[in-house]
Amino acid sequence: MEQLAEAPQAAPRRISQERQRLTGLPLYFQGYLAVRRSRGQEFRVFWTELRGTMLFFYNDKKAPTYSQKLDISALTSVTNIYPNENNSAQFILMLLNEELEVKADNCEYGKEWKGFILTVTKLSVPPDESLSPGQLTRIHEVLDKEKKRRIMLDDCSSTSQNKESLSSEHYSSVVTAMPACFYVVSRKEAIEMLENNPLCGNLILRPGSDSKNYAITVRHMLDAPCIKHYRVTSRERSYVIELEKQVVVKSLQDVISYFVIQTHGNLKPFIMQTCNEVLQMDKSSESKTEEKS
């Protein structure tokens, strides 16, 4: 019986979180793929991430920034190419204006990539009976996440249209840019980010469980670390922080400011860039100390 290749190990957590910050999209699947955009080109191997309906290509598994990206939301079809003598899986992603030929290390790995790509672009699990129960479970989880993400995008689009109809006086009071501490992560992922990167801050703004509102996750340092979550409800022209006594503010940035001010600065927005700068300063100080000694 053919042995399945082991799934590639994920990129280091710090790098994964930096990519999350830069792309602003949830990670669904990742691994090495060889790709080319025309038959005349040679295949080039990239560490590839499927985030939302985008493919991000990295020159190296540990590279924090992508070298290329491809929007596959307008995918029309996936054409299989029969396995070659090396048992690698090849298929072509047919888009409206271009096509991308993809090669995976083995057939099972290729089936998994196709399954995830078709699921997020078509919003349905492909009827492939050769996928294992474990693979199908992961694909169904991704389908649920992508559906919630689409609902949130639709809500944001509706909100933007409403803002366009507001007077300039009201419009100027609405902050269109998301706060720097906003991440498209789950409650569990937010907790892990705060616990593993205490230098980055201790307050994260994230989508709510209903995908229509928001939530604040904070990590207090009292006698022992304490995690708390606060619901933030979106209204047409304001946001409501669901405390014992509701607090109404005009923007998500005002939500963040409220928590910072009320805790006298003990709560700080979680920003990965700040964390990286601190680490670089620490390394620089260590190097200077070693040189002096």
Look at the alpha carbons of 8, 33, 92, 3 in this order and tell me if their dihedral is positive or negative.
negative
Give the model's pLDDT for residue 275. Answer: 56
Q: Are residues 97 and 214 in the same domain?
A: no
Q: Are residues 17 and 136 in the same domain?
A: yes
Q: What domain range includes position 212?
A: 187-275
Q: What is the DSSP string of the chain?
A: -PPPPPPPPPPPHHHHHHHHHHH-S-EEEEEEEEEESSTTSPPEEEEEEEETTEEEEESSTT-SS-SEEEE-TT--EEEEE---TT--EEEEEE-SS-EEEEEESSHHHHHHHHHHHHHHHHTS----TTS-HHHHHHHHHHHHHHHHHHHHHHHHHHHHHHHHTS-HHHHTTS--SPPTTB----HHHHHHHHHH-GGG-SEEEEE-TTSSSEEEEEEEESSSEEEEEEEEEE-SS-EEE-SSS-EEESSHHHHHHHHHHHTTT-S-B--HHHHHHHHHHHHHHHHHHHHH-
Q: Are residues 196 and 138 in the same domain?
A: no
Q: Please check whether residue 180 is in contact with residue 196, taking contact to mean a CB–CB distance below 8 angstroms.
A: no
230 within some domain: yes
Q: Please check whether residue 258 is in contact with residue 232, taking contact to mean a CB–CB distance below 8 angstroms.
A: no
Q: Are residues 123 and 197 in the same domain?
A: no
Give the model's pLDDT for residue 152. Answer: 76
Give the model's pLDDT for residue 158. Answer: 52
Give the pLDDT of the chain (293 residues) as one tens digit per residue: 333 344 556 667 778 888 887 888 889 999 999 999 887 789 999 999 999 999 999 998 888 889 999 999 889 988 887 665 566 789 999 988 889 999 998 888 899 999 999 999 999 998 865 888 888 999 999 999 898 888 877 665 555 455 444 444 443 333 345 888 888 888 999 999 999 888 889 999 999 888 788 999 999 877 778 999 999 998 888 899 999 899 999 889 899 999 999 988 889 999 876 455 544 544 455 454 455 55
178 within some domain: no
Q: Are residues 46 and 115 in the same domain?
A: yes
Give the model's pLDDT for residue 40. Answer: 79
Given 142, 162, 196, the domain boundary residue is: 142
Distance CA 78, CA 100 (A): 10
Q: Are residues 138 and 26 in the same domain?
A: yes
Give the model's pLDDT for residue 85. Answer: 57
- Structurally, how many domains does the chain consist of? 2
Give the model's pLDDT for residue 8. Answer: 55
Give the model's pLDDT for residue 27. Answer: 92
Q: Are residues 138 and 198 in the same domain?
A: no
Q: Are residues 30 and 95 in the same domain?
A: yes
Give the model's pLDDT for residue 14. Answer: 79
Q: Are residues 132 and 199 in the same domain?
A: no
157 within some domain: no
Q: Are residues 20 and 137 in the same domain?
A: yes
Beta bridge partners of 81: 90
CA contacts within 13 A on the Cβ side of 289: 6
175 within some domain: no
293 within some domain: no
pTM attached to this predicted model? 0.56
Q: Any idea what the CATH number is for the domain that residue 196 is in?
A: 3.30.505.10
